[in-house]
Amino acid sequence: MFDSLRKNRYADKFEKFDLYFDQLSKWLEAHPLSDLDFSQDTHWIYAIFHAFQNLAEVCADIAAMILKDEDHIPKDNYSNYLSLYDYKIISKNSQQTLQKINGLRNRV
Residues with Cβ < 8 Å from 64, sequence gap 6 or more? 74, 77, 80
Q: Alpha helices of 31-108 — where are they, by DSSP H?
A: 42-69, 77-86, 92-107
Distance CA 41, CA 85 (A): 39
User: Is residue 70 over pLDDT 90?
Assistant: yes
Mean of pLDDT values over 44-61: 94
pLDDT at 106: 74
89: three-class secondary structure by DSSP: coil
Confidence of residue 38 (pLDDT cuts 50, 70, 90): confident
